[in-house]
Amino acid sequence: MVFAAPSLRYAFIFLVSMLVAPAVWAHAHLTHQYPAANAVVDDVSQAITLNFSEGIEPGFSGVTLTGSKQEIIKTQKATRNEQDEKQLIVPLEQPLNPGIYTVDWYVVSVDGHKTKGQYSFSVK
């Protein structure tokens, strides 16, 4: 009986870790973006692209682009790359002027989990 307590404890820890691990990995995390976070770029004239750790649902995902004076920058509807279900593309209506921009993004992964975040970049 003396050895049962540690064995039960290890079994409990193993069981809990197996139940929690899938929930942790079931969200689409931002892995790469263009322009990159905190980057200073010469020009952004066509689109902002966001790459995630898993596939996303474009109908439930989107981006708000804000300028340095807190003005909303018009963009076209965000779409998923036809060749890559992990990439969200946000076409710009016009090239970005010099300044600091903030990207607020939200996505729903293909398994239904919601994720959101924010980053900034600058245009020279």
CATH number at residue 57: 2.60.40.1220
Amino acid 8: pLDDT: 64
Which residue range forms the structural domain that includes residue 31? 27-123
In a domain, 16, yes or no: no
Residue 8 maps to a domain: no
Domain contains 112:
yes
Beta strands in the chain (DSSP E): 30-34, 40-41, 47-52, 62-66, 72-73, 79-81, 84-91, 99-108, 114-123
On the question of pLDDT at 102 being above 70, the answer is yes
Average pLDDT of span 79-91: 97
Q: How far apart are CA 115 and CA 121, in angstroms?
A: 20
* Residue 13 binned pLDDT confidence (cut-offs 50, 70, 90): low
Q: For the chain, give the percent of residues with pLDDT over 70.
A: 79
Could you tell me which residue, 46 or 6, shows the higher pLDDT?
A: 46
- Report the alpha-carbon angle 99-29-58, nearest 5: 80
Answer whether residue 14 is part of any domain.
no
Residue 85 is assigned to a structural domain of this protein:
yes
Given a cut of 50, whether residue 24 has pLDDT beyond it is: no
Q: Assess if residue 37 is contained within a domain.
A: yes
DSSP single-letter state for residue 123:
E
Total domain count, the chain:
1
